[in-house]
Amino acid sequence: MSESVRGPDVVGFAPLVRPGARVLFLGNAPSVLSLQRQQYYGNPRNAFWPIMAQLCGFDAAAPYEQRAAALMAAGYAVWDVLVFCRRPGSLDSSVERDSMVANDFAAFYASHPTIERVFFTGGAAEANYRRLVSVTADVTYTRLPSTSPAHTVAFETKLAAWRTAVLG
């Protein structure tokens, strides 16, 4: 593939995490809007923040820093499977397979030994984690319905599935 037809580089964010986190939400890679805003789930049509606001009791319209702090205070962490990839646009299906580089999960789990559960926030995150990450951690893995606006399931359906999986 020539350089001129490759997608632009996508470089992921540092994890949102505090010591004592018990749950890790894993996306695949930040969207174009997330990269522009330097925020996890930065597309205002993405259901992640509205769902987590319902589950944790914070204001979904609060500034990003407040939402992130509330999420971490509740024992949750957020990260992406990929630290680097090339992708035109935001669709996970457009990520160039040979460009994917996974984050350092061995170091993450060593630094955050209290993580008990990992929730994949979509199918691409789960597939790429299972394909690229060879770390065995003593955690439970669950795939949740994607919060992406491209996943055209009703918000109420996504919320109900997340509530059942995350809160039990």
What would the pLDDT profile of 74-89 be if each residue is shown by its tens digit? 999 999 999 998 887 6
Token pair belonging to 17: 């995490």
Of 92-96, 97-101, 115-119, the least confident: 92-96
Q: Does 165 or 168 have the greater pLDDT score?
A: 165
The domain segmentation of the chain, as residue ranges, is: 12-167
Segment 28-40, tens digit of pLDDT: 989 888 989 999 9
pLDDT at 4 over 70: no
Burial of residue 2 (CB within 10 Å: 0-12, 13-18, 19+) is exposed
Per the CB < 8 A criterion, the answer to whether 134 and 128 are in contact is no
Q: Return the higher-pLDDT residue of 90 and 60.
A: 60
pLDDT of residue 56: 96
Range scoring the smallest mean pLDDT among 45-54, 89-98, 101-110, 151-160: 89-98
Residues 6+ apart with CB under 8 A from 8: 86, 87, 88
pLDDT at 2: 42
pLDDT tens column, 43-73 = 999 999 999 999 999 999 999 999 999 999 9
148 has pLDDT over 90: no
**How much is the pLDDT for 158?**
94
Instruction: Check residue 1 and give its pLDDT.
Output: 43
Architecture of domain 12-167 in this structure? 3-Layer(aba) Sandwich (3.40)
CB atoms near residue 142 (< 10 Å): 12
C-alpha to C-alpha distance for 59 and 95, rounded to whole angstroms: 32
Percent of the chain with pLDDT over 90: 72
Q: Locate 67 and state its tokens.
A: 């939402």
Distances (CA, A) of 160 to 87, 111, 124, 128, 138: 31, 32, 21, 25, 27
